[in-house]
Amino acid sequence: MSVEDIIFVVLGAAAGGFINGLAGTGTALFAMGFYLVVLEPTSAVAIISLMTVLTGLQGLWVVRAEIGNVRPRLLRFLVPGLIGVPIGVQLLSHVDADVLKLLVAGLLIFYGGFFGFRKSLPRFERRTPVVDGAVGLVGGVLGGLASLSGALPSIWLSLRPWPKAQTRAVLQPYNMGILGLTVAALAWNGAYTPQTWAAFFVTLPVALISAQIGIQVYNRLSDTQFRRTLIMLCLALGVGILVFSFS
């Protein structure tokens, strides 16, 4: 790798690692722009997916106690999500993924823009196990179809006035499960070449350190501040999808 390649990989790792540590989601979007400058799309996705899973272990450790407390809730999202990934992959040849990305981007921008600048945040407290499962399933389908597994769960969970640790204890394991399945599929298809591994080994230390910085910021946020951060992240994700779609 050239010095220029290393610089872009390091910048992507720093951006993706930080947002992973802060919110437990959004890693790919914040890192992808840097990686695509110097890497092929398949290599970029392969590196970011594996990076997200490994750096996410630090976030899981932070909320390890809460994961046990919300296990039934987590499984309502995760199990349908894992089922949805291969469905999304199968739909690749039947659905225009670019159009779908634009629709999801519009939803994220509308939601993030509407609630992100309001003084009062939404409070949806009723138990909705069926809707939870549906959101998890659609998130998995979007992950397999357009690499957007975190979009709908981020919106849905930010509506909930849960403590930040409970929200993260659902969102981060969900994303890691979906991306873990993605990593396995990419490995099966031979995406991890020697060149990909070289870029990954540059990525990992920077991403781990940046994730720790993000975790320190997360620890300083109140429950309300974390919810607002998640809502504003939805807005940023939507804008980022639009930028990548038209670049």
Q: What is the pLDDT of residues 13-27, one digit of tens each?
A: 999 899 999 988 888
Name the band, by pLDDT with cuts 50, 70 and 90, for residue 101. confident
Task: Give the side-chain half-sphere CA count within 13 A for 101.
Answer: 20
Number of domains, the chain: 1
Q: How confident is the model at residue 247 (pLDDT cuts 50, 70, 90)?
A: low
Q: Determine the structural domain holding residue 106 and report its residue range.
A: 3-246
Average pLDDT over residues 243-247: 73
Place of tokens 């003084």: 119
3-state SS string over 48-102? HHHHHHHHHHHHHHHCHHHHHHCHHHHHHHHHHHHHHHHHHHHHCCCCCHHHHHH
Q: What percent of the chain has pLDDT over 90?
A: 34
Binning pLDDT at 50, 70 and 90, where does residue 123 land? Answer: confident
Residue 168 CA: distances (Å) to CA of 36, 50, 67, 143: 28, 19, 9, 19
Residues in the chain: 247
Largest CA distance in the chain: 54
- Is 246's pLDDT higher than 80? no
Asked if the model's pLDDT at residue 1 lies above 80, the reply is no
Q: Which residue has the higher pLDDT, 12 or 246?
A: 12
pTM of the model: 0.85
Give the three-class secondary structure for 161: coil
Q: What percent of the chain has pLDDT over 70?
A: 99
Average pLDDT of the residues of the chain = 88
**Confidence category of residue 244, pLDDT binned at 50, 70, 90:** confident
